[in-house]
Amino acid sequence: MNKVTEVSKIFFAYLVRPHLYPELFRKIFKNIFQRKSATKGKMEAEMWCANLAISQDQYIKQLNGNTETASLNDLFPEILVNAQKIEASTPVKMGGAGALDLIYNLCEHTQAKNALETGVAYGWSSLAALLSISKRNGTLFSSDMPYLGKDNDVYVGCVVPENLKSNWKLFRFADRESLPKIFREQDEFDFIHYDSDKSYNGRMWAYPLLWGKVRNGGFLMSDDIGDNAAFMDYCKQNNHTPTIIEFDGKYAGIILKK
């Protein structure tokens, strides 16, 4: 597909979704005035991450008092195999599974009753959080808008099994619309996972807002922090000492609220 066809397809996908018009106007502004926002400071951020990073297994072990911990695949084999089958049979390709054991263990560690995530796609991170939160009959609040131009709306969250959906509230707007709606229902969270708008400006808008909603002893986690310098800059500007996790050649950052 050439660039003009692709842009037209995305533009029309926005037009038939009036609830996403505010995001359409922001996208137009970004494409005119913030074209380098996706990769701003990428090289420096990658070096910073590489210097600090530890593995997911190492961190989970540390989190759980140096005891070996079973992976989600071992704990919930049937659910995970079924989710993989659903992903394989989905006709549109979306953002795939990230550090699921990490998400599950952070929810377990905080005994999370309320968690928030931005970015759902197939719903792998939602599944990992829900497998923990549902034990306490808590709630996962998720914010997600579809991939425009892919018409994937009906497949968003498809790997989450029916029996976990009573613990899940999915807000299908851009974060800037979803988050205020979520905060009207729940103002403090044990665990927050940011995995939606990965641009420098998108992250720098979201991090302070989300950090203010993490309870003491809770965690803010962000994926793909080597994409640009936003997570690094945010930590440096606010004197946060994050833990950086290397996973599948990418980096996730975690900040504990003390």
Give yes or no for residue 98 binding ligand SAM (CB under 6 A): yes
Q: Which of 46, 87, 101, 175 binds ligand SAM (CB under 6 A)?
A: 175
Give yes or no for residue 101 binding ligand SAM (CB under 6 A): no
Residue with token string 């037209």:
8
Site string for ligand SAM, 137-156 (x = CB under 6 A): ------xxxxx---------
Give yes or no for residue 157 binding ligand SAM (CB under 6 A): no
By DSSP bridging, strand 54-55 and strand 243-247 are parallel
Q: Where are the beta strands (DSSP E) in the chain?
A: 54-55, 114-118, 139-143, 168-171, 189-194, 214-222, 243-247, 250-256
In the range 19-78, which residues lie near ligand SAM by CB under 6 A? none
Cα–Cα dist 37/232, whole Å: 14
User: Cβ 198 to ligand SAM, closest distance in Å?
Assistant: 8
E strand or H helix that includes residue 82: helix 77-89
User: Cβ 38 to ligand SAM, closest distance in Å?
Assistant: 12
| Residues 78, 104 contacting (CB under 8 angstroms) | no
In the range 106-135, which residues lie near ligand SAM by CB under 6 A? 118-122, 124-125
CB atoms within 10 A of CB 154: 10
- The closest residue (CB) to ligand SAM is 95
Site residues for ligand SAM per CB under 6 A: 95, 97-98, 118-122, 124-125, 143-147, 174-175, 195-197
